[in-house]
């Protein structure tokens, strides 16, 4: 387990000194800054209450709930197939990935498994939504730091991915394509060739971002050594996904658990970074987009023939029982605990979304940093507000 970095220790000391000045000597007056709910850096309506001493953060706390939509409760009055159209909207940038763990949990309860072709296509679409999600993150990083150009490159190349998702599923943002026992449809004609072309474009996009943003000295000086999260702290706060891997913990649910998906059939690598700073988090995500394009390429070559739907009854009744399935979503571990009483719909669904847990470390990591670093640290922790509030 890594020790606290020197910088982190210094910022602790500075924050404590600021605390002491605020509370005891009353020489200076602190200021409480509300970052959000309406603020360009919060990707929606997250509110961060920051107590400042000059430009230094003495104490900060995220305050969620401004966009709570009650999906856990809403699932209780829907049938199982209807739930996917709701949970699509949790992480709206990579929405197909939201459907998969819920469908897998329902399939686990019903004790059926999707045919191999459906598993392959599920995995391909899962990785495409990861690319659509994290690709936008890579462009958005620049905007958080005042570089306006990369985000347009991200939108330009994300468009190709969205076109692919639209071609396969009919929906650009909210596919609602996953069914219990398989998929709604097979892939359209010519889709595989086009996907291969797009994967080439995306690898070029990754190189461009690598050059323009990650190779920039200012970007590096803003990112390196800022917001360091040691691996033990990361584990204690329940971080997952790239945030955890950037702290040096080699943990990836795609590899570490056996699900009826196709990840174990291809050759890919789990990227980690030992530093745990903002730079590491961004770098790991960049590598993961590259890795995803490789996964998709290999899956397209090995896609088996056969049906895309298993034999399921027309009216789906899920037998009584409880199931927990989580997958490695673009933002981190996303899981559903589904309780069924044998009805048409779930009795209770608990959603474990990645951003909610990832944001819980904000008070720890924001303590002692400067105001501009709040923005870069939040950007590198990468949350989607729908994923926090649900």
Partner 1 sequence: MSALLAVEIPYWGQSLLRVLGGIVAVLLPAGTIVYLFLFKMMSFMQSRLGPMEAGPFGSMQLFAEVGKWLQKEDIVPAEADARIYKLAPIIVLLSTFLLVVVVPFGPDAYFVDFSAGVFYALAIGSVSVIGILVAGWSSANKYSLLGGLRAAGQLIAYELPMVLAVVGVVIQAGSMNLQDIVVAQNSGSIFGWDGVGFPFVLTQFVGFLVFMIAVQAELTQVPFDMPIAESELVSGYMTEYSGFRFLIFFIGEFATAGVFAFIASVLFLGGWGVPFSWFGWEGLDDVDNWMNIGGPLIMFTKMLVLTGIIMWVRFSYPRFREDQLQRFAWKVLIPISLANIALTAIVKVAV
Per-residue burial over 213-232, b if 16 or more Cβ lie within 10 Å, else e, is bbebeebeebbebbbbbbbe
Task: Write down the least CB distance from residue 67 to partner 1, Å.
Answer: 19
Joined together, the tokens standing for residue 94 give: 């990579």
328 vs 373 by CB, closer to partner 1: 373
Q: Phi-psi region for residue 54, left (φ > 0), alpha (ψ -120 to 50) or beta? A: left
Task: State the DSSP H helix or E strand holding residue 33, giving kind and residue range, or none if neither.
Answer: strand 31-35
Instruction: Return the number of the residue (13 or 218) whose C-beta is nearest partner 1.
Output: 218
Distance, CA of 306 to CA of 97 (rounded, Å)? 23
**124 versus 366: smaller Cβ distance to partner 1:** 366
Comparing CB distances to partner 1, the nearer of 318 and 374 is 374
Kindly list the residues in this chain that would bind partner 1 in the complex (CB under 8 A). 31, 33-34, 39-41, 55, 142-149, 152-153, 156, 212-213, 216, 218-219, 221-222, 370-375
Nearer to partner 1, 17 or 371 (CB): 371
Least distance to partner 1, CB of residue 153, Å: 7
The single-letter DSSP state of residue 309 is B
DSSP assignment of 126-141: HHHHHHHHHHHHHHHH
Least distance between partner 1 and beta carbon 42 (Å): 10
Q: How far apart are CA 294 and CA 203, in angstroms?
A: 9
CA-to-CA separations, 105 to 99, 102, 110, in angstroms, rounded = 10, 5, 9
> What is the smallest separation between the CB atom of 69 and partner 1, expressed in angstroms?
26
Beta pairing, strands 31-35 & 47-53: antiparallel
Least CB distance to partner 1 at residue 11 (A): 12
> In the structure encoding, which two tokens stand for residue 58, read together?
């003495």
Do 46 and 66 contact (CB within 8 A), yes or no? yes
Nearer to partner 1, 142 or 175 (CB): 142
Q: What's the closest the beta carbon of residue 375 comes to partner 1, in angstroms?
A: 5
The minimum distance between CB 35 and partner 1, in angstroms, equals: 9
Q: State the helix-helix crossing angle for 191-209 and 116-144, rounded to 10 degrees.
A: 30
Alpha carbons 369 and 231: distance in angstroms, whole number: 19
Q: Please report how close the Cβ of residue 372 comes to partner 1 at its closest, in angstroms.
A: 5
Q: Which is nearer to partner 1, 20 or 31 (CB)?
A: 31
> Which lies closer to partner 1 via its Cβ, residue 139 or residue 248?
139
Q: How far is the CB of 220 from partner 1 (least distance, A)?
A: 10
Looking at the Cβ atoms of 36 and 332, the one nearer to partner 1 is 36
Q: Give the list of residues 6+ apart from residue 49 with CB closer than 8 angstroms, or none.
A: 32, 33, 34, 35, 60, 61, 62, 63
Q: Residue 216: which residues within 8 A CB-CB, separation 6 or more? A: 147
């Amino acid at each position: 387990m890594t020790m606290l970095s020197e910088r982190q220790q210094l910022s602790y000391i500075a924050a404590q000194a600021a605390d002491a000045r605020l509370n005891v000597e009353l020489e200076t007056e602190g200021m409480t800054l509300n970052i959000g709910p309406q603020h360009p850096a919060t990707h929606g309506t997250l509110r961060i209450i920051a107590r400042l001493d000059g430009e230094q953060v003495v104490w900060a706390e995220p305050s969620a709930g401004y966009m709570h939509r009650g999906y856990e409760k809403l699932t209780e009055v829907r049938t199982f197939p209807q739930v996917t159209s709701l949970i699509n909207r949790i992480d709206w940038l990579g929405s197909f990935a939201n459907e998969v763990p819920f469908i897998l949990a329902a399939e686990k309860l019903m004790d059926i498994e999707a045919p191999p072709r459906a598993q392959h296509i599920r995995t391909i679409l899962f990785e495409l939504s990861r690319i659509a999600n994290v690709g936008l993150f890579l462009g958005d990083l620049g905007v958080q730091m005042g570089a306006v150009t990369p985000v347009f490159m991200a939108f330009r190349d994300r468009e190709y991915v969205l076109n692919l998702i639209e071609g396969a599923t009919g929906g650009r943002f909210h596919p609602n394509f996953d069914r219990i026992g398989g998929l709604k449809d097979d892939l359209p004609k010519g889709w595989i060739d086009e996907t291969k072309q797009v994967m080439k474009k995306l690898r070029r996009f990754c190189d461009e971002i690598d050059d323009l943003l990650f190779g920039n000295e200012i970007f590096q000086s803003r990112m390196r050594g800022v917001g360091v999260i040691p691996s033990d702290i990361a584990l204690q706060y329940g971080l997952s996904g790239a945030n955890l891997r950037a702290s040096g913990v080699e943990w990836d649910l795609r590899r570490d658990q056996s699900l009826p998906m196709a990840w174990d059939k291809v050759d890919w690598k789990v990227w980690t970074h030992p530093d745990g700073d903002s730079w590491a988090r961004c770098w790991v995500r960049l590598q993961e987009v590259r890795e995803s394009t490789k996964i998709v390429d290999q899956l397209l070559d090995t896609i088996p023939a056969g049906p895309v739907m298993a034999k399921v009854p027309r009216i789906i009744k899920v037998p009584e029982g409880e199931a927990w399935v989580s997958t490695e979503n673009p933002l981190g571990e996303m899981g559903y605990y589904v309780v069924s009483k044998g009805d048409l719909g779930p009795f209770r669904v608990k959603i474990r979304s990645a951003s909610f847990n990832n944001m819980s470390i904000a008070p720890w990591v924001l303590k002692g940093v400067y105001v501009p670093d709040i923005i870069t640290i939040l950007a590198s922790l990468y949350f989607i507000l729908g994923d926090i509030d649900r």
